[in-house]
Structure 1
Amino acid sequence: MNIRLSALLLRFADYERVVYMEADTLSEALTQLTRKHPRLRPVLLDGSGHLQRVHQVLLNGELISSNGDRPLRESDEIELVTAASGI
């Protein structure tokens, strides 16, 4: 599956906008992503390893909960969107 990163996350992933992963669950995909790009870990995940609340997950274009046990297929597209505030 492809994981697309929001513009705010690119600098933590060596400006790799789309990362291909093979994973059975969202949690596994995030673990693999943060192994490939370790600088993403403190930005994406909290101390318990859960996705921080400032990030939202879109699965095939639909907003989903960040339930780590959600099963995924190879053809799925995940997008990680980061909330931004300010003017």
Structure 2
Amino acid sequence: MEGRHHTMTLCFSGLLLRLVDYQRTIEVDAATLGEALDQVEGRHPRLRTVLRDGEGGIRRSHRVFVNGELVGAADLATPLADSDSVEFLTAIAGG
């Protein structure tokens, strides 16, 4: 794969933990948020059906933060740098 890849940490909590075998953090080498997710979903395929919508984007019920900053519309093309921390949070709706 062309392009420079970086090592970053993806952090999961709440309902998503069960889909990644209860690993709070997973390290991957990728250049973008989309590539990082593809790697984690390759290891934990059930995560994709919960995290992504029918078009492959992040479902609106999830929020993605890179180094503590909210990624607008969870743009999968967001570039990542070495040592970035990506956190996934699930919005809980009551009823």
C-alpha separation in 1, matches of 2:71 and 2:38: 18
% identical equivalent positions: 47
* Displacement over 2 Å in runs of 4+: none
Partner residue, 2:47: 40
Shift of 1:86: 2.2
| Structure 1: stretches of 5+ with no match in the other structure | none
Task: Report the aligned-residue RMSD.
Answer: 1.2
Aligned pair count reads 87
**Pairing of 1:63-78 with structure 2 (within 5 A):** 63-65=70-72, 66-78=74-86
C-alpha separation in 1, matches of 2:25 and 2:45: 16
| Structure 2: stretches of 5+ with no match in the other structure | 1-7
TM-score, with structure 2 as normaliser? 0.86
Larger Rg: 2
Partner residue, 2:66: 59
